[in-house]
Structure 1
Amino acid sequence: MKASDAVLTPIHKEGHTHIAVFFIVSIGLFYLISEPLGWIGLVLTAWCVYFFRDPERVVPQASGVLVSPADGTVSAVTEIAPPAELGMGDKPRKRISIFLSVFNVHVNRVPSAGTITGLAYVNGKYLSAAADEAGEENERQLVRMTTEDGNDIAFAQVAGLVARRILCNLKEGDVVERGSRFGLIRFGSRTDIYLDEGMECTIEPGQTMIGGETIIARKL
């Protein structure tokens, strides 16, 4: 990637207000309190710009694959029942959990082309997103979809310790494309994806994910 590409990376519209507030406060600190505090404010403003970056991605076109819904690190691959709120039964499924630090891109992407068949928002706690129980106890937005290959999957945006707002632009009945943007979590979080039977997980804990690009599962 060229240095100019990093500087010119688009910013998600959700970040515009936050960046403006950080910048105005920084200028106020410079002129009303102290120059060192002003410089600290500008560093935080730069971090805010970095946090809300929204880079373009090259989405794989292979058939029968799922891509990562987020940037981050795979924190766990487990067997667990899907969220009860989505009505998918209680038979355990493979769940892939991806932890996003405050330095990762936080724009979320749809893992497969298909149709959104259900959504549920659950108000909850703000445990560390890396904790196993966060997927069942934290604030979360749940999404169920039928993929273009006929698989019934689910994915979730899970708030973390410092995350205080989950944005999801999906509606039931939406027809979506693999890798398309669907939301954002600020400022630290996790995403989970629940696979259908007949799907093979292709990643392992500790791997680094690129949202919309890294293949995380494929149809057998």
Structure 2
Amino acid sequence: MELKVYVDRLSQPSRAIVIFCKVNKIDFEEVGIELLKGQQLTPEFKEINPMGKVPAIVVDGKFKLFESHAILIFLASAFPGVADHWYPADLYRRAEIHSILDWHHSNLRHSSTGFIQNTLLAPLFGRPLNPQAAAEAEKVLSSSLSKIEALWLKESGQFLLGSNQPSIADLCLVCEIMQLEFADETDRNRILGPHKKIQQWIEDTKSATKPHFDEVHQTLFAAKVKLQMQRK
């Protein structure tokens, strides 16, 4: 199976796809799409994803798929070498993972993206910063982190749903939270500081996917340093 993965490693869901492929030894070609240059809006890329967003994949030159959750479910199902804990065969566990992924889009993802965009990144895309929108996003983000701790990070396991091994839901949500690395240390500590379970879960996910987690996030860390220098 020939797999092309179209990503920008500054994108949270893009990083989740790349890490998943590397951890599971899936052979793939990574095709970089630079969001800041608008490459996702070119006619060539829109033939792959008409929505003009990353990530997207092309399989065997003909099957095209976008939306990160759908991609991860496909990869976990299509490649027999993927360990069961990522996307369990048990239908009840799968349903629980789907529930978390559906919740993710309208809660954690929406709020984390809104906060980072409106405190830091909006000018890079030609938009003004919006402190009011950032404050509203932070409220939803903090509430989302509390819900993750209360509902899914159980004492019986290191990962979501009380599991001792990560699922695709763990990878998606942790990569989302890692976008807070862009934030000032004061903001990041204010948001993450009260959530000790979240902090430990992030470290456990890093450990379970090493060395690929840190390697894939190097692009994010480098961009953070560059942004800090520009702001000074």
TM-score for the superposition, normalised by structure 2:
0.25
TM-score normalised by structure 1 residue count: 0.26
Q: Which has the higher contact order (CA 8 A, sep 6+)?
A: 1
More strand by share: 1
Identify the structure with the greater helix proportion: 2
Which is greater in Rg?
1
